[in-house]
């Protein structure tokens, strides 16, 4: 049996480095050679030659060795981890590096970073052990790990970008803490960024040129994929749509701004609106999930609050669509559970405020909710963790990703 640690080890020379990158992409997702070439940004002929060599060495397999057949990794020992550390929940996934998407083991806990990372860490490690055990392998077989966090991450340092907003502080370094416990490098990035990466890789049959992923939960963030590149910005602040000013006379935001989108459609803002509506009974929703459930069951106030959130989100997305003209916009996070209650008013506002050509109903623009549901960010973290092995410099992750030092 092949060992993932050997396949991911140091590579000497350009040819060996390119071969390792190809193996990593196959670990991420078995795919047709043409799509692997697109994901790697190299020619189809180069991938074809490399695949033929790897087949001879018994490292990869092509089921029928026909042009459209997916290339798969041969039986290999090793586990890849994806960790999503949200404000009020955390999700962990583990998958054998030679396994199909369906072999992923997952666990979700209704506790998050708002409890304090130090207090959360033992429970997080417990979830990791559970999902690794579910793969039939052991903690010593973990070869990669990625971490999604709901804050801005500097792509050069792998640390939080200032201003560092609660519940984090400038001294917090969750990736480094996990590295010590797991014994592997931990790549870290913003959760919306990783949601976009996951949607581009796992949510589509073939990659699209421009994909935007919206994480709408406690706050709102956008991840932007253009081709095979994730747009992070100079200091990791790209896509912070939650801090767009949408009401100049609005409430002060946690970031110090006024009238930010977060102050209108973030979870706390929506729950606050329920209270302002005069609801005082025992059924008062105390979190976003409960608010959405009440709206879907016909509660008039909750339904209005959720649909208004969809409209405000659509207004903000119209500005983003005019800037980057995406082919696909995916709404994820807790708010996505409202489905048509959010998507329909969001689409109406897009059509009202965006350029007609940017959101035309002609097959060249699509707005939908995530097909990866609550695990989108964890899937993206798994991808990031594996791609971190593509870099010779341990301080840089693949496609601009970052790895804790």
pLDDT score, position 66? 62
Which residues are 85's β-sheet partners? 90
Q: Give the Cα-Cα-Cα angle 110, 113, 118 (nearest 5 degrees).
A: 110
Residue 15, Cα to own-chain centre: how many angstroms? 30
Q: pTM, whole model, 2 decimals?
A: 0.92
Continuous segment of H or E residues that includes residue 271: helix 267-276
The whole-angstrom separation of Cα 328 and Cα 191 is 18
* CB 267, CB 217: distance < 8 Å: yes
pLDDT score, position 212? 97
Q: Which of these, 117, 237, 225, 208, lies nearest to 171 by C-alpha position?
A: 117
pLDDT score, position 397? 38
Tokens of 365: 């623009």
pLDDT tens per residue across all 405 residues of the chain: 899 999 998 877 888 888 999 999 999 999 999 999 988 888 889 999 999 999 999 999 997 766 678 999 999 999 999 999 988 899 999 999 999 878 899 999 988 888 888 888 999 999 999 999 999 999 999 999 999 998 889 888 888 888 787 788 778 899 999 999 999 999 999 999 999 999 999 999 888 999 999 999 999 999 999 988 899 999 889 999 999 999 999 999 988 999 999 999 999 999 999 888 866 665 678 889 999 999 999 999 999 999 999 999 999 999 999 999 999 999 999 999 999 999 999 999 999 999 999 999 888 999 999 999 999 999 999 999 999 998 754 444 333 345 443
Tokens of 143: 């070869």
* CB 214, CB 241: distance < 8 Å: yes
Q: Give the Cα-Cα-Cα angle 22, 371, 136 (nearest 5 degrees).
A: 60
The whole-angstrom separation of Cα 94 and Cα 135 is 7
Could you give the residue ranges of the DSSP H alpha helices within 135-227?
Answer: 174-182, 191-202
User: 203-239: per-residue pLDDT in tens?
Assistant: 998 889 999 999 999 999 999 999 888 999 998 899 9
- Domains of the chain (ranges plus CATH)? 2-73 (1.10.10.10), 79-196+377-403 (3.30.420.40), 204-370 (3.30.420.40)
The whole-angstrom separation of Cα 93 and Cα 120 is 17
Tokens of 198: 């996951």
């Amino acid at each position: 049996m092949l060992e993932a640690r050997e396949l991911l080890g140091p590579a000497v020379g350009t040819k060996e480095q390119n071969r390792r990158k190809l193996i990593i992409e196959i670990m991420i997702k078995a795919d047709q050679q043409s799509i692997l070439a697109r994901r790697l940004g190299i020619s189809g002929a180069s991938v074809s030659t490399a695949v033929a060599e790897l087949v001879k060495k018994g490292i990869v397999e092509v089921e029928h060795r026909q042009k459209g057949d997916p290339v798969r990794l041969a039986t290999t020992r090793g586990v890849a981890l994806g960790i999503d550390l949200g404000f009020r929940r955390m999700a962990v996934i583990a998958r054998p590096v030679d396994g199909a998407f369906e072999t992923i083991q997952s666990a979700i806990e209704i506790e998050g970073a708002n409890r304090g990372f130090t207090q959360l860490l033992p429970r997080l490690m417990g979830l990791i052990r559970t999902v690794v055990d579910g793969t039939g392998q052991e903690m010593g077989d973990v070869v990669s790990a990625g971490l999604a966090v709901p804050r801005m991450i500097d792509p050069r340092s792998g640390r939080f970008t200032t201003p560092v907003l609660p519940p984090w502080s400038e001294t917090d370094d969750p990736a480094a803490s996990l590295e010590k416990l797991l014994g592997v490098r931990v790549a870290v990035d913003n959760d919306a960024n990783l949601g976009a990466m996951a949607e581009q890789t796992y949510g589509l049959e073939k990659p699209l040129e421009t994909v935007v992923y919206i994480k709408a939960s406690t706050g709102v963030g956008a991840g932007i994929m253009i081709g095979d590149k994730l747009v992070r910005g100079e200091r990791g602040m790209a896509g912070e749509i939650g801090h767009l000013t949408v009401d100049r006379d609005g409430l002060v935001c946690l970031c110090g701004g006024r009238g930010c989108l977060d102050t209108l459609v973030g979870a706390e803002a929506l729950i606050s609106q329920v209270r302002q509506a005069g609801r005082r009974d025992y059924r008062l929703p105390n979190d976003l999930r409960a608010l959405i459930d009440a709206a879907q069951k016909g509660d008039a106030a909750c339904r209005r609050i959720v649909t208004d959130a969809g409209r405000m989100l659509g207004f903000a997305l119209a500005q983003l669509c005019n800037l980057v003209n995406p082919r696909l916009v995916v709404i994820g996070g807790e708010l996505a559970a409202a489905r048509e209650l959010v998507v329909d008013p969001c689409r109406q506002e897009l059509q009202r405020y965006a350029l007609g050509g940017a959101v035309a109903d002609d097959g060249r623009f699509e707005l939908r909710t995530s097909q990866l549901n609550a695990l989108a960010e964890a899937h993206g973290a798994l991808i990031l963790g594996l791609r971190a092995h593509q870099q010779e410099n341990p301080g840089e992750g693949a496609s601009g990703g970052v790895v804790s030092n």
